[in-house]
Structure 1
């Protein structure tokens, strides 16, 4: 029933600033209904830690999920374990953080395929997140998916 609260609600907050942080916190409070606990997902013999989890809703910063050497199996396991992911502080991506950008693409693909609802704060709109470097063409699909995932009825 908590996912019904997302109908018509903003799910992509930009830029990352005090206002978007406050909005993300308000969404967490509304959906999760309190403080979360760490979620540990066991993948191929190792643990993947998600900083906050409550009522099917997970919350993590971009670097907690994309700044570490995680792969498709990790993101698929995460997508199976949750219904909503709140992802904070997505930076602009490019040559300087190419590995993080590739992981982000893989994360979005896993969430998209599993119909996990994404609520996030980002430095720029989806089409402006990755403007230079190898992989810009491939990122267009990710930007498109990010837009689609913002639709009111997405994931239902």
Structure 2
């Protein structure tokens, strides 16, 4: 998508929680790719950017199953980033920062691939 489009609209983004780790990771990766390729993003979310990720709800059945399979206690899980959500929290702070930067006029101008083509032909 980042190679084909210079502007992308994303609608209906819900509040993301640690219980939605897969969705949080996919969203973060998507925004990282768009940012790196200077794709302009128009985002419609349930809440303002600063409230988009809530550091709660990380106790899901898959985490508990993984703990059981690995023979780890809840105490041990509390020290592992996989279960604490530290990685998701760090990555999502970066995502919010990038989305904020992506709203700037300079970013939008850099992302206008059509402008470069028109300038070359004139």
TMscore range, shorter length: 0.5 to 0.7
Within the candidate set 60, 66, 91, 1:138 is matched to: 91
* The one of 110, 113, 126 aligned to 2:49: 126
Larger fraction in helix: 2
- Contact 2:50–2:96 (Cα < 8 Å) also in 1: yes
Structure 2, unpaired ranges of 5+:
57-84, 111-122
Instruction: Structure 1 unaligned segments of length 5 or more: list them.
Output: 1-77
Rounded to whole Å, the distance in 1 between the matches of 2:91 and 2:34 is 17
Deviation at 1:150, TM superposition (A): 0.7
Q: Distance in 2 between matches of 1:127 and 1:89?
A: 16
Instruction: State TM-score, norm by structure 1.
Output: 0.48
List aligned pairs for 1:44-63, cutoff 5 A. Answer: none
1:150 corresponds to 2:73: no
After TM superposition, what 4+ stretches of structure 1 lie above 4 angstroms from structure 2? none
Task: Find the structure with the greater CA-based Rg.
Answer: 2
Match runs of 1:70-81 below 5 Å: 78-81=1-4
Q: What's the TM-score once normalised by structure 2's chain length? A: 0.61
CA RMSD of aligned residues (A): 1.2
Could you say which residue in structure 1 is the equivalent of 2:5? 82
Q: How does 1:1-150 map to 2 (within 5 A)?
A: 78-133=1-56, 134=85, 135-150=88-103
Aligned length: 79
CA distance in 2, matches of 1:128, 1:150: 17
Q: Per-residue deviation at 1:123?
A: 1.3
Name the one with the larger strand percent. 1
- Larger relative contact order (Cα-Cα within 8 Å, sequence gap ≥ 6): 2
